[in-house]
Amino acid sequence: MLAMQLLRGAVKHLGSRSPCSAEQLIPALRGVSSSSQQLSVSGRNHASSCADNDNPKILITGGLGQLGVGLAQLLRRRFGKNNVILSDIRKPPSHIYHSGPFIFSDILDSKNLRELIVNNNISWLVHYSAVLSAVGENNVALAKEVNITGLHNILDIATEHGLRVFVPSTIGAFGPSSPRDPTPDLCVQRPRTIYGVSKVHAELMGEYYHHRYGLDFRCLRYPGIISADSQPGGGTTDYAVQIFHAAVKSGHFECNLHSDTRLPMMYIDDCVRATLELMEAPADTLVSRTYNINAMSFTPQELTQEIQKVLPDLRVTYNVDPVRQAIAEGWPMALEDSAARRDWGWKHEYDLPELVQTMLTHINLGNQVAQAY
């Protein structure tokens, strides 16, 4: 009788989540171990929980970049640690390796990628592997290979296996002939960087695969993303991350953009939440497959002034990089995102004051922890 009462309570507690079967719950109530199900990646076994089995199995490519680790943390809280696999071609830091499944994966090796998806029963694929704007201009051949050939592998494999696939785009997908303030979802896109060209290509190829083959393709145009937990990866908006670390460490920052260069920005928590919300949105609510999302726009001077409210001794000088400046001047000053707000309820939480307080708090706490060890 007690066992049945506990079973009823457990099922009731699950609420709106997909319930586990009674056959899975009863052995646990009797104190008997049910047969374990394990996910084997990178030579390690991770026991899957009952709840894990009801959730999507997600692979993140390029997972050691600025966004992959943060998104993995959110997805693991939402769907279970063992249902989210980070992958990259680099060796992860120890704390990332031990925080959940990690596996080597090269998006240019389609055989390896297929094996990974089949062996781990992947249902969602988040494709973050990319060569960013400033780095891409210095190595066009590499950018073409990773950003275009790699994308084709992802789209083909996702179509073959019926995956839901997310490929990020960016403000870099626009060019000097696009409306800049604000930039709408639909307008002229003629970027002048290989990074931007590859992102327009990704948007159009993804939408083509959706209409031609029924691929569940989803895409967001990200602003510049700001995070305290990861290092910049060669993007034009990197200054907006570097300035915080310099402000705390030395009190001096040399900016490589003009002081009045306005660009759209977003705190990483808003970015990863938007990604999850789009991935979870019912397909019939998505009028488009590519959406702008926006949060705030500011110049280096405005960001400096906001940081100086907390750290008044911060000194900023300017040594403009002509390559990055030219890229920035062809990008939007703000993104118009009413479609995302209408279709799937997008709403940002961080504006400039909240961004500055959060970044400085995280960096200070991180430094204190580092000093303690």
Question: What is the crossing angle of helices 68-79 and 268-280, to 10°?
Answer: 50
pLDDT classification of 366: cutoffs 50, 70, 90: low
Predicted confidence at residue 110, as pLDDT, reads 96
Tell me the torsion sign for CA atoms 298, 301, 303, 309. Answer: negative
The tens digit of pLDDT for each residue in 10-49 reads 333 333 333 333 333 323 333 333 333 333 343 333 333 3
Q: Are 217 and 333 in contact (CB under 8 A)?
A: no
Please give the Cα distance from 155 to 163 (Å, whole number): 9
Task: List Cβ neighbours of 5 (8 Å cut-off, separation of 6 or more).
Answer: none
User: Are 283 and 216 in contact, with CB atoms under 8 Å apart?
Assistant: yes
Calpha distance 207→213 (Å, rounded):
10
Q: From CA 250, how far away is CA 123, in angstroms rounded?
A: 46
Q: What is the pLDDT of residues 84-131, one digit of tens each?
A: 999 999 999 999 999 999 999 999 999 999 999 999 999 999 999 999
State if pTM tops 0.85. no
Distance in angstroms (rounded) separating the CA atoms of residues 94 and 111: 27
- 271 beta partners: none
Which residue segments constitute the domains of the chain, with CATH numbers given?
Answer: 130-371 (3.40.50.720)
CA distances from 264 to 117, 122, 242, 321 (A): 35, 33, 16, 19
In this structure, the strands spanning 58-61 and 44-47 are unpaired
pLDDT of res. 373: 52
Choosing from 195, 209, 222, 291, which is the catalytic residue?
A: 195
- Give per-residue burial for 253-281: e unless 16+ CB within 10 Å, then b: bebbbeeebbbbbbbbbbbbbbbbbbbeb
* Token pair in block for residue 24: 């899975």
Query: In this structure, is the dihedral angle defined by the CA atoms of residues 187, 190, 192 and 197, taken in order, positive or negative?
Result: positive
Q: How many angstroms separate the Cα of 245 from the Cα of each of 227, 250, 299, 309, 339? A: 11, 8, 18, 16, 35
Task: Specify whether 195 is catalytic.
Answer: yes
Judged against a pLDDT cut of 70, whether residue 360 lies above it is answered with yes
Bridge partner list, 265: 224, 296
Measured CA to CA, the distance from residue 91 to residue 61 in angstroms comes to 13
Average pLDDT over residues 339-367: 94
- Burial of 222 (C-beta count, 10 Å sphere; 0-12/13-18/19+): buried
Do the Cβ atoms of 120 and 102 come closer than 8 Å?
Answer: no
Residue type, 168: P
